[in-house]
Structures are given as structure tokens and as C-alpha cells.
Structure 1
Amino acid sequence: MIKISNLTKQFNSHKSLNNVNIEFQKNDHIALMGPNGAGKTTLIRSIMGYYHPTSGEILINGKDPIKNRTEVLKIISFVPQLPPPIKLNLDELIKYIERSSNVNKELILHYANEMKLDIKSNLYKSFFKLSGGMKQKMLIAISLARKSDIIIYDEPTANLDPKARDDFYRLLKEDKNEKISLFVTHRLEEVKKIVNRQVYMDLGEIVINKKIKEIL
């Protein structure tokens, strides 16, 4: 469970989050929406312990994501909109994830194959030098293989072609593990088949928080 209470985050004179209160429970699949500058990214980074609150608190399964950051990050998978500049090649990256997160290598390869990522031909290529779409496929494969309690996708399909988007959403539909999934998106239509809540932010506040349907 994610419990956010009276969360405010201020950068100098700019208040990015203003007294935010919200809870996410297991099997909540949320479309987090809002214009640029609404506070979505600040909220996500606060959940993962990247930002210290100016006031208020966040609890992830009862744990503070700053004081207990290592424990909290073990149960969160995050796929950013812009892939990080990882210098490892794919073989090294897979081995690192396998050891650091106790993830089955074969499961990573399975999801990479499902995303139509040719691991074999690119195994010794630097992640940094792959195309945007290939990077995104690799990160998605890792996120699915980790089987995390909380999974956060920030515009995950921005670098994917239409077929890869279909594969991504198919895999999410097929994943029946109980979890919280949070999708930062500008297109509700694209995720409507896999979300059951819509949260809309503006000017650092939550202005819409509603259940939209049950996932079949």
C-alpha cells in the first residue's frame, strides 16, 4: 500500500506538490494524468525516495521511502520516459539485475522475446548505444520479470512502435500478480483497458481521483 499524507514539496519559491493526500491499494491500476508541471514527476520521485518532502509523509507498506529506501526500492519497478545512460552491455545488465534483484535471467529473456527484442544479436552491445525503442523494451522486460509489488511506468510507450505497444499492453493484461501499477500518461484512451482508477493533477494538487471501471 502507498499512503500519502499532507505531502508538500517546495523547490525554492515553487511549490511542486501542495498538501497531497491519496492512497493506493493492491490491485489499484492508476492512470496518473495532468499537464506538464502538474507535479506528477515530483510525486513519483517522492514515492521512490528521490525527494525529501518539505512537509507531510509517504509510507510504502508502512515504511518511509527515505529512511528505508533500500527496502522500499526492492519492491518497486520503475520505467522512465527517458531511459538512463547505462554503460553496461545487455549481457552485463541482465547479470547485474539477476544478482542485485534476485530476478530469474530466463524470465528477463522471456519478456524481452515477447517484446520482440532481439537479445541474441545485441547481447554485447552497450545499452547506451541501442535505439530508444530497444532500450524501452529492455527496461519493460526487466520490470515485468521482477514481479514487483509496485510498478511505475512514466510514458512507457513513448519510444515504442504500434506493434510493440500492443505487445506491452498484452503482457500487462496477462500478468495476474497482485500489485499496484501506476501509469503516467497523457492518453487515457491508450491505457483504459488496464487501469481502474484515474488521478488527475494540476498545479501540484489532485483535482480528480475516481474509480473508472473494474478490470476484467
Structure 2
Amino acid sequence: MIQVSNLTKKFGSHISLDSVNCEFNKNESIALMGANGAGKTTLIRSIMGYYHPDAGEVLINGLNPVKERMKVLEHISFVPQLPPPIKLSIDELLQYITVSANVDKELIKHYANEMKLDIAANMSKSFFKLSGGMKQKLLIAISLAKKSDIIIYDEPTANLDPKARDDFYRLLKQNEEEKVLLFVTHRLEEVKDLVNRQIYMDLGKIVSDERV
């Protein structure tokens, strides 16, 4: 589903990705690990079409994520480490997502409730003014409701309390078939029961890629 071939990305004289090769396929749950500056975020942003490669290519279901970005993003759900500064109310945000990404609003509400987020009581509140945990729960609910082939989580449990983390892992277990799940994480112990593949990056290269 995701094919990365000889991918190189430079920022000035700094090489962020150094001829990276890897594939991510259906039914794989991958922990992508490495120190800050290892290239993890650059790889994720290249997969999503944010960056133009200096060499090599990325293909998502055979599509180039830079040239055919709208089509590619239809297949991807992404939850960033830092929630975006969205000023819309929750009601407006759900309406926007329903129209722009063809996501069932009631399904978002279902997953929000499963994450113990009282969405009905907060519909008029600005997303921007929610607590970090509430933002994270809503973004997770949206990612699951979208029913994407590829779900990417960047430190998804950073703002979640232990009970919310348990709910998150339970929901992922129920929704992991026929998907690529990609976790960018510094805490392997939190996702080790969910992943079947562990990739370590360092200095823009993949230094370890193991099935578990």
C-alpha cells in the first residue's frame, strides 16, 4: 500500500532522509521509532505529500502523493502529535469533515463516546479551547470514523490519561484488519501489544526493521 524507493530529502545541507527504502502493507501495524532528528517526521510528511523528494519516490496504492495528493489523502487518516489550532466549534468542525471527507458524523460521535468524550455537551465549544486530552480524543474519533486504509498516529497517547489510552487501544484492536497502522512513537511499551513490526531510524536511514 505504501512503497518508498530510494527516498532522499534534504533541507539545505542537512540530509533528513538518506535513500530510504521500505514498504508498508495491509494488516501491518508498525512502530516507527528513533531519536529526534532521525527522519521519522520527514518520512511521514513525504508519505502524505507535504514534501517533494530530492530523489526517489513514494507511492500510495500506486499514486504519487505530491502529484495526486487529494486522491492519496482519501486513503489516509492522520493524528498529529500537536493538535492543529482549529478555531471552528466542534459542531462546525464535524460538519466540515462530513462534507469535505465524506465521513459519517454519527460515527464520529460514536467513537468520541467510546473514548469517553462527552461530545454532545461540547458541540458549541471551540476546538481550540478544548483541553489537550479532549482534542486528542476527538481527533482519534475522526481518524477511526473515516475508515481509511492507512492510519498514521504521531505520539497518539501523549495527552491521554491511562483509561483513555486503554479505550484507544481497544478501539484500534477492533479496527486493525485490512489496514496499515503506523505509530510514530518514543514509547514502544505502549504499543508493543498492537504492532507486528518495529522500525528504527537514525540519521535519515532505517537501521533496523524487524517483524515481531
TM-score scaled to structure 1, two decimals? 0.97
| 1:138 maps onto 2:134 in alignment | no
Percent of aligned pairs sharing the same letter: 75
Partner SS for 2:141: helix
The aligned residue for residue 52 of structure 2 is: 52
Q: How does 1:22-33 map to 2 (within 5 A)?
A: 22-33=22-33
The aligned residue for residue 43 of structure 1 is: 43
Letter of the 2:53 partner, please give it.
P
Letter of the 1:160 partner, please give it.
L
The aligned residue for residue 88 of structure 2 is: 88
Unaligned runs of 5+ in 2: none
State the shift of 1:100 in Å.
Answer: 1.0
Partner SS for 2:208: strand
Letter of the 1:128 partner, please give it.
F
Give the Cα–Cα distance (whole angstroms) in 1 for the partners of residues 194 and 94 of structure 2. Answer: 28
Q: Deviations over 1:22-75 (max 9, x none)?
A: 001111110000001100000000000000001000000000000000000011
The aligned residue for residue 73 of structure 1 is: 73
The aligned residue for residue 128 of structure 1 is: 128
| 1:179 maps onto 2:175 in alignment | no
Q: What is the aligned residue count?
A: 212
Unaligned runs of 5+ in 1: none
1:147–1:177 CA contact under 8 A, matched in 2: no
After superposition, the CA RMSD in angstroms is 0.7
Give the Cα–Cα distance (whole angstroms) in 1 for the partners of residues 60 and 173 of structure 2. Answer: 24
State the shift of 1:101 in Å.
Answer: 1.1
2:27–2:176 CA contact under 8 A, matched in 1: no
The aligned residue for residue 201 of structure 1 is: 201
Give the Cα–Cα distance (whole angstroms) in 2 for the partners of residues 104 and 199 of structure 1. Answer: 33
Give the Cα–Cα distance (whole angstroms) in 1 for the partners of residues 4 and 174 of structure 2. Answer: 29
The list of structure 1 runs, each at least 4 consecutive aligned residues, that deviate by more than 4 angstroms after superposition, is none
